[in-house]
Structure 1
Amino acid sequence: MQCERVEEMISLYIDNQLTPEEKMEFEKHIKECKKCYDEYLSLLEMVNSINSLVEKPLPSGFKEELRNKLEKVHKENNRNRPTKKIFIKWASIAAIFILGMFIVSPILNFNSPLNKLGSKDAGLSVGKEESPKEYLEMASDSIAAEDQQNIEESAVEDQQNVKESKENFSFQKDMQEKIIYSGGITLQVKDTNKVLDEITQYTQDIGGFIQHSSMNHPEANSSSSNRSTAGGGYIYLRVPADKFDIAMEEIGKMGNVQEKQRSGENITAQYRDMEIEVKSLEIQEARLLDILKKADKVQDIVEIEKEINRVRTEINQRKTMLKNWDQMVDYSSIEVNIIQEKVPSTSIEGNPFKDLGQKIQRGFTQSINYIVIGVANIVIFIFKALPFIAIIVIGYIVYRKWLKDRLINKNK
C-alpha cells in the first residue's frame, strides 16, 4: 500500500470507518512505515485535542444586544457619511505621499524603511551574527506584527460589511452551517439476502455507496441454543445529505422496524476555527519563504526550512481534517442492522425441501473439505515438528548409549 493512500485513510481509521480488510492493511503499513506512523500519531493527538474542547454557550441577551448595537452603528454611519468621504479623500492623499517617499528615498539615499530592509543592519537581515534561534524569534515577531495588522484590517472590513444589513448577516450565517447527520435502523425481515440486495441497489440509485456490510448465515449459528433469530446481517452506507431523511424512510419500509434513531452534529464552530488556523499558517509560510530568499548563511537556511516544513505539516493536517469533515457533511451515514425472523414452530411456511439435493451436496462437500483441511494441517504440523523430533530421538539414543556404557563399566 502506498503512503499517499494511507495518509487519506488515517482519519477514516481514527473514526473507525474502514472495512476489516482496509484496517488490517492500514495497521500493517504503519507498523512498517515510520513516516505514516508519525503522521497518524500527530493527527490522533490533534483529534483528541479538538474533541476535548468544550463549546461555551452565548450569554443571555447576546442576540438582542448585538442587534441593538448593529442598528446604532448603522444610524451613526448614515449621519457621518460626509465626514467619512472627507476622511477617505485625505487618507488617499496621505497614502500617495507615503508611497512617493518610499519610491524616491532609495534614489536620494535617504534612510527609508526600504533601505533598512535591504541593508545588513536591518532587524530581519541574516547577515548579522545572530544565532538561528534568535533569527527565527525575530522573524516570528515580525510575522506576528504583520499578522496582527492584517487581523485588525480584516476586523474593520468585517464590521463595515455587518453594518449593511441585519438580514444579510443572518443569511450568511445560515449558509455556513456544517452539520453531520447519521442514523441507525434495526429491521426484522424474512429474507436477509433479499433485503441486503434491495438496500444496496437503492443506495446506488440515489448516488450513495456502501462502506461495508456483512451477513450471518443461519447454518453458522444453528448450534447456539439461546438465539431467537435465524441469521441476519449488517450494512453501513453513505447517502447524500439532502436525501438522508428520504433514505431513512425508504429503508424502514423494507422490513419491520424494531428501532430507529437519527442524530445531527453541528461542527460549524470547529470548521471555522480550523479554516482560520489554516489561513494563519499559510500567512506564516509565505513570510518564512520571503525571509528564506534573503538568508545567506547555511545554518540559518536550515533552521528556516525546518520551520517551513513544520508549518506545512500543520497545514496539511488541518486541510485533511477539513476534507474529511466535508465528506462527512456531504454524505450522511446510516447503519442498518438486519434481523432475520426465526423459523416458525407452529406452522410450515414456504417449501423447506426446495433444492434439498443441492443442500445435501453442499453439506457433504463442506464436511469433506473439513476432513481434507484437517489432514493437511496434521501433515504440515508433522513436517514442522520433524527437526524437534530428530533432536529428541538423537538425545534419547545418546542417553541410552551412555547408560549402557555406564552399566557395563559398573559390572566390570
Structure 2
Amino acid sequence: MRYIFCFLFFALTLSGCEKKAGSAYVSEDKIMSVNTPMPSGSSSDEMVIPQKIIKQGNLKFETDDLESTFDQIQTAIKANKGSVQNDYQEKNYNNITRNLTVRVPSQNFDSFLQAISKGVAYFDEKNISSQNVTEEYIDLNSRLNTKRKLEARYLEILQKATKISEILEIEKQISTIREEIEAKEGQLKYLESRVSESVITIEFYKTIAQKEGVKISYGSKIWNAIKSGFFSLSDFLISIVSVWPFIILFVVLVYFIRKRFKRKKA
C-alpha cells in the first residue's frame, strides 16, 4: 500500500511540473508575439498644447454700392493676409447679390470682421461661432504617438525574429500600423488647417428700385417678343424655301387640272 501511495504522489508531482512548463512556454510565446503590450509613457513625453479653436463667421447685409463694398472687403482681405475661396454673383427681379467665401488666419479673424463691418447699418444675418477642439486634438495626437511607439516596438521585434512565419506576420502588422499612422496624421493636419485658418461667408446685396425693375422687366419682354417674331418669320420663310420643288410641282399640277376642266367645258 505504501508503494501505491508513493507512486500516486510521484505521478501528481510530475503532472504539476508539466503544467508549469506549459505555462512558461505560453508566457514566452506572448512575449515574442507582435501583440506585446507597450510600456506606459513617461511624463517627459507629455507636452503643453495651447487651446485649439475653430472660428467661423456668416454675414449678410444690404449695401447701396456693390463695387465700393467689394473694394472695402478686398482691402480688408489683403490687410489681414486672407484669400478669396469662392466668389458668386446673382441678379434677380428684386436685388443684385454677391456672395464671397473668405479664408483668413485665425489670429486676424476679429480684426477682419471689424474691417468689413464698417459702414454697415445693420446685419440681416450675423452668425459667429467658435468650436473648441483642444480635447479632440490632444486625443488624436496621443493616439498617433502610441501608434508610432508601437511601430518602433514591432521593428525591434522584427530584428530579433528568426522564423519566416514570424517575420511575415510582423511585417503585416507593421504595414497595418503604418496605414493607421498615415490616416491619423492626415486627420491631425486637417484639424490643424481648420484651426489655423478661419472661414467667413459674406453675402451683400443691393435692392433694385421697383420702377426700375418694372421698366427693365417689361422692356426686356417687348424686345424679346420682337426678336421672337422676327425669328419666327425667318424660320417660316426658310421652311418655304426648303420645299420649293413641291410648291412648283403643285402649281404645275393645278395648272394642268384647270386647263383640262376648261377643255371639257368647251
TM-score with structure 2 setting the length: 0.62
How far apart are the structure 1 equivalents of 2:196 and 2:55?
9
- Equivalence for 1:238: 103
Asked if 1:207 corresponds to 2:73, the answer is no
1:213 Cα deviation (Å)? Answer: 2.1
1:344 Cα deviation (Å)? Answer: 5.0
Pick 1 or 2: higher relative contact order, CA cutoff 8 A, min separation 6: 2
Number of residue pairs matched? 194
Aligned AA (1:288): Y
1:189 Cα deviation (Å)? Answer: 1.6
Contact preservation (8 Å) 2:109, 2:198: yes
Q: Deviations over 1:182-237 (max 9, x none)?
A: 11111212333443343234213311111222111x2xx34xxxxxx322021111
Aligned AA (1:323): K
1:139 Cα deviation (Å)? Answer: 2.5
Aligned AA (1:243): N
How far apart are the structure 2 equivalents of 1:306 and 1:319?
20
Asked if 1:189 corresponds to 2:84, the answer is no
Contact preservation (8 Å) 1:185, 1:252: no
How far apart are the structure 1 equivalents of 2:157 and 2:108?
50
Residue aligned with 2:156, SS: helix
Residue aligned with 2:95, SS: coil
Asked if 1:331 corresponds to 2:227, the answer is no
TM-score with structure 1 setting the length: 0.41
How far apart are the structure 1 equivalents of 2:127 and 2:187?
26
How far apart are the structure 2 equivalents of 1:135 and 1:193?
72
**CA shift in 2, pair 1:295/1:208, >3 Å:** same
Asked if 1:307 corresponds to 2:173, the answer is yes
Residue aligned with 1:139, SS: coil
Given the alignment, which residue of 33, 47, 51 partners 1:177?
Answer: 51
Given the alignment, which residue of 196, 208, 212 partners 1:342?
Answer: 208
How far apart are the structure 2 equivalents of 1:195 and 1:305?
60
Given the alignment, which residue of 21, 28, 34 partners 1:139?
Answer: 34
How far apart are the structure 1 equivalents of 2:188 and 2:201?
23
Contact preservation (8 Å) 2:80, 2:111: no
Contact preservation (8 Å) 2:55, 2:129: yes
- Equivalence for 1:123: 28
How far apart are the structure 1 equivalents of 2:203 and 2:210?
21
How far apart are the structure 2 equivalents of 1:135 and 1:297?
15
Asked if 1:283 corresponds to 2:149, the answer is yes
> Which structure carries more strand by proportion?
2
Given the alignment, which residue of 219, 232, 251 partners 2:116?
Answer: 251
Q: Deviations over 1:303-352 (max 9, x none)?
A: 22221121111111111111122221121121111222222549xxxxx9
